[in-house]
Amino acid sequence: MGLMRHVVCAMSGGVDSSVAALLLKRRGYSVTGVFMKNWDSLDESGTCATERDCEDAYRVCQSLDIPFHQVSYVKEYWHDVFSNLLKEYEKGGTPNPDIICNKHIKFNHFHKYAIDTLGADAMATGHYARTSQEDDEVFQQPHIPPPTTLFRDRFEIRNPVRLYIGADRLKDQTFFLSQISQEALKRTMFPLAGLTKEFVKKIAAEAGFDHVLKKKESMGICFIGKREFENFILEYLEPKPGNFVSIEDGTVLGKHRGWFTLTLGQRARIGGLKKSMFVVDKDIVTGDVLVAPDTNHPHLYRDTMRTDRFHWLSVDPPPELVRTQMLECHFRFIHQMPLVPCTVTLNMDGTVWISLSQPVRALTPGQFAVLYKGDECLGSGKIVQLGPSEHTLQKGRERLVAAAQHKEQPTPEPTS
User: Where in the chain do CATH 3.40.50.620 domains reside?
Assistant: 6-146+156-224
Based on the residue annotation, tell me whether 101 is a catalytic residue of this protein: yes
d(CA 378, CA 322): 14
Contacts of 100 (CB under 8 A, 6+ apart): 80, 81, 84, 85, 179
- Taking residue 143's Cβ as centre, other Cβ atoms within 10 Å add up to 9
Cβ(327)–Cβ(320) under 8 Å? yes
Q: Which CATH class is domain 301-391?
A: mainly beta
Across 181-201, average pLDDT:
97
Spell out a b/e string for 87-106, using b for 16 or more CB atoms within 10 Å of the CB, else e: ebbeebbbbbbbbbbbbbbb
d(CA 210, CA 376): 34
Based on the residue annotation, tell me whether 342 is a catalytic residue of this protein: no
Could you report the per-residue pLDDT of 289-335, keeping only the tens digit for each? 999 999 999 999 999 999 999 999 999 999 999 999 899 999 999 99
Across 134-140, average pLDDT:
83
Across 126-132, average pLDDT:
97
User: Where in the chain do CATH 2.40.30.10 domains reside?
Assistant: 301-391
Contacts of 86 (CB under 8 A, 6+ apart): 236, 237
Cβ(279)–Cβ(264) under 8 Å? yes
Contacts of 113 (CB under 8 A, 6+ apart): 34, 71
What pTM, to 2 d.p., does this model score?
0.91
Across 58-66, average pLDDT:
98
Q: Reduce the DSSP state of residue 1 to 3 states and report it.
A: coil
Could you report the per-residue pLDDT of 157-171, keeping only the tens digit for each? 468 999 999 999 999
List C-alpha distances in Å: 48 to 39, 55, 382: 9, 14, 28
Over the chain, what is the mean pLDDT? 91
Percent of the chain as helix, strand, coil, to the nearest 5: 30, 25, 45
Lowest-pLDDT range of 94-103, 223-232, 245-254, 267-276: 223-232
Q: Reduce the DSSP state of residue 212 to 3 states and report it.
A: helix
Closest residue by Cα to residue 15 from 106, 103, 99, 127: 127
Could you report the per-residue pLDDT of 327-374, keeping only the tens digit for each? 999 999 999 999 999 999 999 999 999 999 999 999 999 999 999 999
Residue 214's pLDDT is what?
Answer: 86
- CATH number listed for the domain at residues 238-295: 2.30.30.280
**Which of 101, 329, 342, 377 is labelled catalytic?**
101
CATH architecture of 6-146+156-224: 3-Layer(aba) Sandwich (3.40)
User: Where in the chain do CATH 2.30.30.280 domains reside?
Assistant: 238-295
